[in-house]
Amino acid sequence: MTQEQCARLYETCYMRVFSYVMTLSGDRSLAEELTQETFYRAFTRQREFRGESDEVTWLCAIAKNLFADEKRRANRRGEIPEDLPDQAKSVAKTVEDQDSSFRIHMALHQLEEPHREVFELRVFGELSFKEIGVIFGKTENWARVTYHRARIRLQERMDDR
């Protein structure tokens, strides 16, 4: 990959990868750091890209692995976050009623995996079903079904409150 191709890839994919990592971490500085490391790894290990998926999907898979590595390191060190992620601001902007916002967060937090992550990738990360399927090593149809099941479960939990 030439320097020009690397620059083009960075410019076209940075925000999507950053949004994905932000969805995973909820921490802006960590998301920025992991996004930069994602592109560094992609540029230095470009021979590993087999072209079986879209470049954004490949970058998000790298980012997901880096995030998992970071979580494992933090757990081994016994770190406790100094402050909680401030994701509520973005949701509160779209939801006028703060009580509704809290209920949405509670219901989303209680969703089991992989439903919660698929829902967040689709809604907050704005990834396609195909990209989500590739990240999980599953089919596009699996991602679509999992997302719709997550929506139904989220709605059911909202109705119960």
Residues 59 and 31 in one domain: yes
Round to whole Å and give the CA distance between 57 and 46. 14
**Element of type H or E holding 123:** helix 115-123
Q: Would you state the structure tokens that stand for residue 138, as one six-digit string?
A: 């599953």
Q: For 109-129, how does the pLDDT look when each residue is reduced to its tens digit (9 = 90+)?
A: 788 888 888 888 888 777 888
Most confident by average pLDDT, 9-13, 40-44, 73-77, 140-144: 140-144
Looking at the predicted structure, is the pLDDT value of residue 84 above 90?
no
- Within-domain flag for 83: no
Q: pLDDT tens across 1-43, in order?
A: 678 877 888 888 888 888 888 888 888 889 899 999 998 888 8
The tally of domains found in the chain comes to 2
Q: What pLDDT score does 66 carry?
A: 92
Residues 6 or more apart whose CB falls under 8 angstroms from that of 127 comprise 16, 20, 56, 57, 60, 121, 135
Closest by CA to 15, choosing from 32, 33, 40, 37, is: 32
The CATH number covering residue 29 comes to 1.10.1740.10
Provide the domain limits for residue 33. Answer: 3-77
Q: Do 47 and 101 reside in the same domain of the chain?
A: no
- Give the model's confidence band at 137: pLDDT under 50 very low, under 70 low, under 90 confident, else very high: very high
